[in-house]
């Protein structure tokens, strides 16, 4: 008798990572919320400090705020390894104009606020938090959003946008308005210490492509730990005060006004493009939450940076959540309007790079599909659940065709 061996079903896990990736900026935001909840409970239940501070090292540096600069240095290095000379060539075609269209007004507004209102800012938004917000862009989300439409020039914008989203430039800008705890030399050395990891990454990544391959996923590993560290500075009891929420809403509106209006004008009317790149970059990067701590020891006309930006992390966390959730849908709505009213332009732009996208948008007679929704592309980006049965049916039919083709070949 043949013995029947029962194969044990292997445990495939519970899909934690997949769940985090379904949430905009989830790999950083979810750990931030968890850490904030733990910190709030510990502070208000008699411990008087965060759990990570109470436990001491290595937990304190790994999950608490004291380890932020180490992880930022690692992130700068990993980002540097992804930069190539080709990226600068591609971004020069279009992306650099969109980046400049959002950064020049952003830094100009922040400078005016510093000069007129001082570090305390206006409407509960201090100038430090304002700078951290307006000068930021979520390059990772940008890449996910533009995937259905982007060409080499759009994709080449990613590493350059990543550079401008790093803490280096905002830190240099803020240090010009404040005074460090030491002399001018110490401030210069702080800037150099941020530059060295990045430049070292650029050098090693271009000297050896294997180094680039090893470290290109480094930021994905670092982000959850940064999330825990940011969350350790948030007391949710204070964060959910009316003034903090109101400041976050005002800052979100101001962020979109600066990062969408002028860049979209440049994208559509000067570069003659659909506008997905400018709208798709209008979301806050998680690393922006780390900048207030970097200038906490600075003094701005006698006001401590730490005191002025005491609510910065909580305000930026709210802005992060709102912009990362809504930005993909803004991009989708923009493109639906573009496809509906600019058929000739759409054919000219996408006929060479994405002809399959045009098939999704227009029927065989060239008419706009009112309910196309671009499911084939948007389902992975926006996690659309509408018409899910139709998508599943189409996927099953495609799989059956592939199986029958393989059987015939065998």
What's residue 183's pLDDT?
Answer: 53
Inter-residue contact 95 to 154 (CB < 8 Å): yes
* 3-state DSSP helix/strand/coil % of the chain, to nearest 5: 70, 0, 25
Asked if pLDDT for residue 408 goes beyond 90, the answer is no
Residues in the chain: 410
The proportion of the chain whose per-residue pLDDT surpasses 90, expressed as a percent, equals 15
Inter-residue contact 78 to 198 (CB < 8 Å): no
Q: Which residues, 6 or more positions from 197, have their beta carbon under 8 angstroms from its beta carbon? A: 73, 74, 76, 77, 80
| Cα 371 → chain centroid | 29
Residue in the block written with tokens 């790093």: 166
What's residue 182's pLDDT?
Answer: 55
Average pLDDT rounded to a whole number, residues 269-294 = 87
Distance CA 5, CA 404 (A): 30
Asked if pLDDT for residue 399 goes beyond 70, the answer is no
Distance CA 359, CA 369 (A): 10
Q: What angle do CA 213, 227, 225 make, to 5 degrees?
A: 50
Distance CA 317, CA 319 (A): 5
Cis bond leading into 58, ω under 30°? yes
Query: pLDDT band at residue 263, thresholds of 50, 70 and 90?
Result: very high
pLDDT digits (tens, 9 = 90+) for 202-261: 899 889 989 988 887 887 888 888 888 878 877 888 778 888 899 999 999 999 999 999
What's residue 169's pLDDT?
Answer: 86
What's residue 204's pLDDT?
Answer: 92
Of 290, 61, 60, which is closest to residue 50 (Cα–Cα)?
60
Asked if pLDDT for residue 94 goes beyond 70, the answer is yes
What's residue 54's pLDDT?
Answer: 85
What's residue 396's pLDDT?
Answer: 52
Inter-residue contact 141 to 283 (CB < 8 Å): yes
Asked if pLDDT for residue 187 goes beyond 70, the answer is no
Asked if pLDDT for residue 42 goes beyond 50, the answer is yes
Distance CA 250, CA 37 (A): 25
DSSP-derived letter for residue 11 is: P
Q: What values do phi and psi take at 362, rounded to 5?
A: -115, 145
Query: pLDDT band at residue 262, thresholds of 50, 70 and 90?
Result: very high
pLDDT digits (tens, 9 = 90+) for 303-356: 888 888 888 888 998 898 888 878 888 888 898 899 888 888 888 888 888 888
pLDDT digits (tens, 9 = 90+) for 66-77: 787 788 788 778
Distance CA 20, CA 172 (A): 33
What's residue 7's pLDDT?
Answer: 53
Stretch among 177-181, 222-226, 358-362 having the lowest mean pLDDT: 177-181
Average pLDDT rounded to a whole number, residues 17-41 = 81
Q: What values do phi and psi take at 368, rounded to 5?
A: -70, 130
What's residue 400's pLDDT?
Answer: 54
Asked if pLDDT for residue 199 goes beyond 80, the answer is yes
Q: What mean pLDDT is reported for the chain?
A: 80
pLDDT digits (tens, 9 = 90+) for 274-283: 999 999 889 8
Query: pLDDT band at residue 407, thresholds of 50, 70 and 90?
Result: low
Distance CA 161, CA 140 (A): 9
Burial of 225 (0-12, 13-18, 19+ CB in 10 A): buried
Inter-residue contact 216 to 78 (CB < 8 Å): yes
Of 296, 290, 320, 234, which is closest to residue 68 (Cα–Cα)?
290
End-to-end alpha carbon distance in the chain: 32
Q: Which residues, 6 or more positions from 193, have their beta carbon under 8 angstroms from its beta carbon? A: 73
pLDDT digits (tens, 9 = 90+) for 123-152: 889 999 999 999 998 877 787 778 788 887
Sign of the alpha-carbon dihedral angle for 47, 49, 50, 55: negative
What's residue 386's pLDDT?
Answer: 37
What's residue 239's pLDDT?
Answer: 77
What's residue 359's pLDDT?
Answer: 84
Architecture of domain 17-327: Up-down Bundle (1.20)
Distance CA 166, CA 291 (A): 9
Average pLDDT rounded to a whole number, residues 395-409 = 52
Burial of 245 (0-12, 13-18, 19+ CB in 10 A): middle
89 vs 14 pLDDT, higher one: 14
């Amino acid at each position: 008798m043949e013995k029947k061996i029962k194969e044990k079903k292997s445990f495939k896990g519970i899909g934690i990572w997949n769940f985090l990736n379904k949430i905009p900026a989830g790999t950083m935001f979810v750990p931030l919320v968890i850490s904030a909840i733990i910190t709030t409970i510990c502070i208000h239940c008699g411990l008087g400090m965060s759990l990570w501070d109470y436990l001491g090292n290595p937990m304190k540096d790994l999950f608490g705020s004291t380890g932020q600069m180490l992880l930022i240095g690692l992130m700068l290095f990993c980002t540097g390894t992804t930069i190539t000379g080709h990226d600068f060539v591609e971004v020069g075609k279009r992306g650099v104009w969109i980046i400049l269209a959002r950064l020049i007004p952003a830094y100009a507004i922040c400078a005016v606020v510093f000069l007129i209102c001082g570090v305390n800012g206006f409407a509960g938004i201090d100038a430090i938090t304002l700078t951290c917000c307006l000068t930021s862009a979520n390059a990772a989300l940008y890449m996910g959003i533009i995937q259905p439409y982007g060409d080499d020039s759009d994709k080449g914008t990613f590493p350059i946008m990543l550079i401008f989203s790093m803490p280096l430039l905002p830190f240099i800008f803020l240090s010009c308005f404040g005074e460090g705890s030491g002399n001018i030399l110490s401030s210069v050395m702080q800037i150099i210490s941020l530059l060295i990891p990045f430049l070292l990454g650029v050098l090693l990544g271009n000297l050896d492509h294997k180094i680039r391959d090893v470290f290109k996923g480094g930021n994905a590993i670092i982000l959850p730990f940064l999330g825990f560290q940011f969350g350790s500075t948030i007391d949710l009891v204070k964060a959910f005060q009316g003034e903090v929420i109101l400041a976050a809403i005002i800052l979100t509106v101001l962020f979109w006004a600066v990062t969408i209006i002028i860049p979209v004008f440049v994208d559509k009317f000067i570069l003659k493009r659909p506008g997905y790149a400018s709208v798709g970059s209008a979301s806050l990067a998680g690393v922006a939450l780390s900048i207030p701590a970097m200038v906490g020891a600075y003094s701005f006309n006698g006001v401590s940076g730490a005191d002025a930006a005491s609510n910065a992390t909580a305000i930026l966390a709210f802005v992060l959540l709102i912009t990362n959730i809504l930005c993909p849908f803004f991009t989708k709505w923009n493109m639906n309007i573009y496809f509906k009213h600019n058929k000739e332009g759409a054919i000219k732009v996408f006929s060479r790079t994405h002809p399959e996208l045009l098939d999704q948008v227009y029927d065989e007679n060239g008419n706009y599909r009112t309910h196309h929704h671009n499911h084939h592309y948007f389902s992975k980006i926006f996690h659309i659940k509408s018409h899910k049965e139709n998508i599943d049916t189409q996927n099953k039919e495609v799989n059956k065709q592939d199986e029958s083709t393989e059987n015939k070949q065998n």
